[in-house]
Amino acid sequence: MKTVERICFLFVALAVLSCNRDDSPPKTKIVLLKKVEVDYPGSSLADYSLAITYRDDQTIHTVTRTLANNSQFQFTCDYENGRLAMLTVETPVGSVRTVKFGYTPQGVLASLEEQLDGSTTAYEINYNANENRYSTVNKSWFFDPDNNFEGYYFMSVGVHTFQYTNAKGIGQLDRYIPLLIYETLSGLGFTQDFNNLSPHQLTESSFEELGIVSGEIIEYRYENTLDGEGNLGATQVYVNDQPQVFFTRTYEYEVKFQ
């Protein structure tokens, strides 16, 4: 009898464990961009790569930019209340710049403060919610309703516009719009290698020179391919009507479940 009771107990226990496993919520698949290789067929000395590390909450911790000569720039991101609060940039020669991001109570970017070599430069950022546009003195950044980067306008410098398809681009990066604005403003520019932070694929862009050489236009065409998982795998960039590839970006990812 005891043997029968033990067998019944085991069946009940296994049934309970099975129900507990079935009741557990399904895990969410998260695809994180981990590496970008940028290759210039016409000049290997211009090649570089980006390596990205993340914190446990999938926010970017560091981005390491390694140049063809193996020198490195290190970008470190810090956060407050889930928002990007500060960027620290360490250069190969040891200099350090910091950028602090200020926000409105609603969480909208309102200011940038850059400290470099003992000097501080501050920028007030204005936001137009109806047009999804950010601006500072003589400069504006435009985004569509999905927060795709549509372009920027710098008075007496140039205007750069971007076009996208609805095809899959790179996710998990839309919170870094403040970083894109700063980098476009200061010319550091690695967010452009993150597909301009867009969840869709970039297909074309056009840059028009303003000021002294007003009227010169450079057209860029982006041909994208997907990897075996359906993620953006590589982008070949062409300039104007040139048949040869100007440069290629290749993307690698890390997949997590939570």
Q: Residue 257: its pLDDT value, please?
A: 84
Which amino acid, residue 31? V
Mean of the per-residue pLDDT values of the chain: 89
Output phi, psi for 203, to 5 deg.
Answer: -115, -35
Thinking of the domain 2-257, which architecture would CATH place it in? Answer: Beta Barrel (2.40)
For residue 43, what are its two tokens? 């000049």
* pLDDT per residue as tens digits for the range 160-171: 999 999 998 998
Phi–psi pair at 9, nearest 5 degrees? -65, -40
Per-residue confidence band for 12, with pLDDT thresholds at 50, 70 and 90: very low
Cα–Cα dist 60/79, whole Å: 10
Q: Do residues 218 and 205 touch, judged by C-beta distance below 8 A?
A: no
**Three-state DSSP class for residue 137:** coil
Reported as a single tens digit per residue, the pLDDT across 173-215 is 988 999 999 999 988 778 889 999 999 999 999 999 987 766 7
Residue 105 has pLDDT above 90, yes or no: yes
pLDDT tens digits, residue range 125-150?
Answer: 999 999 999 999 999 999 999 889 99
Q: In the predicted model, is pLDDT for residue 22 greater than 80?
A: no
What is the rounded average pLDDT of the residues 229-240? 94
**Cα distances (angstroms) measured from residue 74 to each of 30, 121, 122, 196:** 25, 21, 22, 19
Backbone angles phi and psi of 122, in degrees to 5: -115, 145
Give residue limits of the domains in the chain: 2-257
